[in-house]
Chain A
Amino acid sequence: MKYSTLPLVAGLSFIATGAIADTLTVYTYDGFNSDWGPGPQIEANFEAECGCDLEFVGAGDGAAVLSRLRLEGDNTDADIVLGLDTNLTAAAAETGLFAASGVSGEYDLPIDWTDETFVPFDWGYFAFVAGKDVAAPANFRELADSDLSIVIQDPRSSTPGLGLVMWIEAAYGDDAASIWADLADNIVTVTPGWSEAYGLFLEGEADAVLSYTTSPAYHLIAEEDDTKTSWTFDEGHYMQVEVAGKIAGTDVPELADQFMAFIATEGFQSVIPLTNWMYPVVTPAEGLPAGFETLSTPETALLFSAEDAAAKAPLAIDAWRNALAQ
């Protein structure tokens, strides 16, 4: 069909890109590069330093970014992949497409960061977000025993959904299945992604939704609505750490290294809180924006290593499915 014109188009685009400054192509999830996400500001800040052209390519969510990378393999145009989380990094590393980051730094994370391939750029705690008028359970057992209703995401299609499964696995281990069985009657529905679940919650379809401890900050700061809070559970909260990695086959290695180093700097980190609504990995000089101090902060941070997460995920998902399919 269009094949006769394809070489022509490809040729033109080659000429077009060859004529201007070096381009650094960064694959990321859609939300990161939306007009109200961190993408545009970070692009401006980095381009001011590098004299290059930074191009974000959005491709669905974090898992979709990894799928796309796997489909493209060695042919990929990506120089950097940004937006995977620790539940995906083992699979990402296995592709052999990533190079060591060459970056080490001091991060304001509740855990030690030792991964040499992937560099964290923001993080948060998973939590159930609810209205302040709802009596908050103190842990999963109380939630399961209550009449409270929740919306969660499918761990097979959503990173928060997977995060919840790993959370219960990390907190309860062998008892995870029984927690899920008890939670089954609290779960209104399971959505494919975060946005559908959060939408249902805002529509009043459930008392609470699986999201992040930082979610109430959006309502407070952007909407001046202080009626939302997150429940703090005494078994601890599983973390999501979002990372970036450098593609080994990049054609602009210096630029890629420069960007990897840029991640931990002010020009990147200061943008995160009010655009991605997550915690920066390095607290900006002027501190976190006003309003973040009102967020609940868990006592205990839970996180599997990338290897543990990859090993435990299939069984944990099976336990989840068996419990909810009854």
Chain B
Amino acid sequence: MALKIDDLRIRLDDFSLKANCAFEAGKVTALIGASGAGKSTFLSALAGFVDCDGGDIRWNGARIQGLPPARRPLATLFQDNNLFPHLTIAQNVGLALGPRLRPLSKDRGPIANALDRVGLAGFDARKPAQLSGGQQSRAALARVLLQDRPIVLLDEPFAALGPGLKRDMLALLRDVILSPERVVIMVTHDPEDARYIADDIAVVADGRVMPPAPVADVLDNPSDDIKLYLGLH
């Protein structure tokens, strides 16, 4: 099972990006690149928020390019605003099962279960503002867990957390989200994060998304682009 990107082209004003690569299930792939290289744009294109000028996105051979975001087999964690402040944690997580604020009775168990998995049992009735930053990230992860989509995209959702908390989240991500049937792609600007959690790294540079390669290969034998990014000369 894999997410295949064939000859994808994105053009936004004076910025353009090309991608020709595949992401395999059962792996966490880190997208690394300089600021403005197009990491977030690439993720937005996969999620359906940015229109592509050409090329194809396929999941297991089925074309998902052109589908509205909610119909694509993926779940996204954004940089911020992953929870609706006016809804309770249970309502926020429950949105994974459909656009309704009152969970169906059959959904109650799975919602509680997801909260339990991320360590937020009993937090159902709280509003996001009553939670710490780390707890908010856990709640967002619970929703992704409950969405149960084969592709999970993370656009630096833990960037605002301190290093210790961030590590905890990444570990939790690997623990509860990653599965042999799931592709996980996360944007990061910290090579240490990549080393800590990712299996592969895909470098975004020069208007291109390079095919993923094992973390060790990329970081230990860096290409010129990576050297530049890492500040190695």
| Chain A in direct contact with chain B (Cβ < 8 angstroms) | no
Chain A contact residues, CB within 8 Å of chain B: none
Chain B contact residues, CB within 8 Å of chain A: none
